């Protein structure tokens, strides 16, 4: 069975690049471009991993994470937060479950791919 990855990025072009790359790599990849769309897709597909842009519109990553923490089935979905700026002082605040990793933009696809592969392998 192909692993399900939801890629939520405020930049639609970047999200489409993520989807194309990870679909070609064998994942069942879906994208979301705002917080409401992200929550809807999380609830529908319950992904094996969520890649979440910190600057997501309509609720942002904070809103998505708050909803995930409140909903029993969603709190188990591991989350990788991606952000343009990751100050060291903010990392401890970001790394609250279900967030398991934080990465800084711009991302190289192979770096994100390695991250996703290792996190999904650990979750099994």
Residue range of the domain that includes 22: 4-123
pTM summary value: 0.91
Strand locations in the chain (E):
4-8, 28-32, 49-53, 79-83, 99-104
* Domains held by the chain: number: 1
User: Of 4 and 94, which is predicted with more confidence?
Assistant: 4
Can you give the CATH number for the domain in which 14 is found? 3.40.50.2300
Residue-wise pLDDT tens digits, 28-87: 999 999 999 999 999 999 999 999 999 898 877 889 999 999 988 898 999 999 988 766
Lookup result for tokens 């996190």: 119
Rounded distance between C-alpha atoms, residue 29 and residue 92, angstroms:
28
């Amino acid at each position: 069975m192909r692993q399900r990855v939801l890629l939520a990025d405020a930049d639609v072009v970047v999200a489409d690049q993520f989807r194309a790359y990870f679909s070609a790599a064998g994942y069942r990849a879906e994208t979301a471009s705002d917080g409401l769309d992200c929550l809807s897709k999380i609830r529908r597909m319950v992904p094996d991993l969520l890649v979440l842009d910190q600057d997501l519109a309509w609720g942002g990553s904070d809103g998505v994470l708050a909803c995930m923490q409140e909903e029993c089935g969603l709190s188990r979905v591991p989350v990788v937060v991606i952000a343009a700026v990751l100050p060291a002082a903010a990392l401890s605040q970001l790394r609250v479950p279900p967030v398991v990793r934080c990465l800084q933009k711009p991302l190289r696809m192979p770096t994100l791919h390695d991250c996703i592969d290792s996190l999904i392998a650990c979750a099994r």
